[in-house]
Amino acid sequence: MRSGTAGLVVGAGATVVVVAAALIQAAGDNPALNLALSISVPAKYQDLIEEAGNTCPEVTPNLLAALLTQESGFNPKAKSPVGAQGIAQFMPSTWESSGIDGNGDGKRDVYDPEDAIPSSAKYLCGIADDVKDVPGNKQSNMLAAYNAGTGAVLKYKGVPPYKETQNYVRSISALAGKTSKGGKPGTAVTAHQGVTAVKAAQTMLGKPYSWGGGDTSGPSTGTCCSPRGISGAETSGFDCSGLTLYAYEKVGIILPRTAAAQYAASEPVKPKGMRIGDLVFYGSSASSIHHVGIYIGGGYMIDAPRPGTKVRFSPLDSMRDLLGVARPVHSSTKEI
pLDDT band at 16 (very low <50, low <70, confident <90, very high): very low
- Tally of CB atoms within 10 A around 110: 22
Q: Give tens-digit pLDDT for 316-335.
A: 999 999 999 999 987 633 33
Q: Are 244 and 294 in contact (CB under 8 A)?
A: yes
pLDDT above 70 coverage of the chain, percent? 83
Beta bridge partners of 56: none
Least confident range of 2-16, 31-45, 107-121: 2-16
* Helix or strand run (H / E) with residue 156: helix 150-156
By C-alpha distance, which of 267, 278, 281, 266 is closest to 319? Answer: 281
pTM of the model as a whole: 0.51
Q: Give tens-digit pLDDT for 280-304.
A: 999 999 889 999 999 998 889 999 9
- Round to whole Å and give the CA distance between 126 and 249: 40
Amino acid 23: pLDDT:
47
